[in-house]
Amino acid sequence: MKRLASSCFVVAALAGVTGMTMGIVMAASHDHSLAPAHAHLNLLGWVSMALYGLYYHTHPQVAARPIATAQVGLAVLSVVLLIPGIVIANLGGSEIPAVVGALLALISMVMFLAITMTGFLRDAGNA
């Protein structure tokens, strides 16, 4: 399913542009207090989403499965909660959104592990 892979790349590009903009703003202002949010946005938003998109593009039969759509949806939700949650926590607010986002990111990655391991074992059985 090309739509799932394309969606991953769109989210990755949005996260990449946002993360780069954050980095430039922090550098220009000499205020790096939001560096943890910047780093997580680049890693989970840009890198992880791009890698998910690459995997699903190269494995369209896997991308067509409902669990793949659920995994990507959970990954996007985790970024949407985690990054603002880190900002809120760094500014002295509640850590709950960051904690929930982090747990969702972990669950999404465990789902991706299960998806990729299933495919690996299936391919190994057909070799």
pLDDT at 82: 97
pLDDT at 126: 77
* SS3 assignment, position 37: helix
- Spatial CA neighbour of 5 closest among 71, 58, 75: 58
pLDDT at 1: 60
pLDDT at 98: 97
The number of folded domains in the chain is: 1
Question: HSE of 100 in the Cβ direction (CA atoms, 13 Å)?
Answer: 11
Q: What is the pTM of this model?
A: 0.92
Give residue 73's domain range.
2-125
pLDDT less than 70: residues of the chain = 1, 127
pLDDT at 3: 95
